[in-house]
A and B are shown apart, each in its own frame.
Chain A
Amino acid sequence: EAQVTQNPRYLITVTGKKLTVTCSQNMNHEYMSWYRQDPGLGLRQIYYSMNVEVTDKGDVPEGYKVSRKEKRNFPLILESPSPNQTSLYFCASSLSAMDRGLGYIQYFGAGTRLSVL
């Protein structure tokens, strides 16, 4: 089954304790992305990756790191989490549908709810 898998689904941590949220896709997609969803703000892009070893900042990259060492994995790293990073996080991988004039169609994971105390 084609899917984007995020782990963990729920995480409670304390300020300053490094954490990693994993994301894996089995669709051989080149493009992957991380978002956070906050009430009243919609989804905001944190980082994205066009391919292995190619990453770029989205709109809200501060306090986050990513790496793309393999095509299927795109982990999100919070080196020193703070309470303002409490949010719902989504990973997505994308299929190019440019040839059909539809842009990049993103497939999202089920989300990781993070609370930083």
Chain B
Amino acid sequence: DQQVKQNSPSLSVQEGRISILNCDYTNSMFDYFLWYKKYPAEGPTFLISISSIKDKNEDGRFTVFLNKSAKHLSLHIVPSQPGDSAVYFCAASPRRTYKYIFGTGTRLKVLA
């Protein structure tokens, strides 16, 4: 049973526009939610995270929104740049553990 789901395998966006990547989860015991970006032949790199007690966290062009009632989080990238083209993974961690559950990833392509 996939506890963290990224239902869109891919997304294409024009340069300068907003990219919205979505993630749904089923476990209400998740405490932290994180987004990672992955380029080919490299390991994932941390992008941004949010605690379950918040509903928004912003870092430069990246904003993560958390809707606990809908068990949904989203990553907004504004404005999108060609260098943002990568696979994005959302991940969730249950309370007081070091376990991580990752989604299957969304491949973002930003078109110049």
Determine how close the nearest CB of chain B comes to the CB of A10; give it in whole angstroms. 11
Nearest-CB distance from B70 to chain A (Å)? Answer: 21
- Residue of chain A at shortest CB distance from B43: A108
Contact A102 B49 (CB under 8 A): yes
Asked if B101 CB lies within 8 Å of chain A CBs, one says yes
Scan B39-57; emit 1 where CB is below 8 A from any A CB, else 0: 0011111100111011000
How far is A48 from B100 in the complex, measured between Cα atoms in Å? 10
Secondary structure of the A contact surface, majority rule: strand
Q: Number of B residues contacting the other chain (C-beta, 8 Å)?
A: 29
Inter-chain CA distance A84–B45, complex, in Å, is: 27
Tell me if A106 is interfacial: C-beta within 8 Å of chain B: yes
- Chain A: how many interface residues by the 8 Å CB criterion? 30
With A and B bound together, what is the CA distance between A53 and B49 in angstroms?
29
Which residues on B are within 8 Å of A, measured CB to CB?
A: 4, 6, 31-34, 36, 41-46, 49-51, 53-54, 89, 91, 93, 98-105
Residues in chain A within 8 A of chain B (CB atoms): 4, 31, 33, 35, 40-45, 48, 50, 56, 58-59, 90, 92, 94, 97, 101-111
Contacts A103-B49, A108-B36 given; 14 further ones with Cβ under 8 A?
Answer: A35-B102, A42-B4, A43-B100, A44-B102, A56-B98, A59-B99, A92-B43, A94-B98, A101-B51, A101-B54, A102-B34, A102-B49, A102-B51, A107-B46
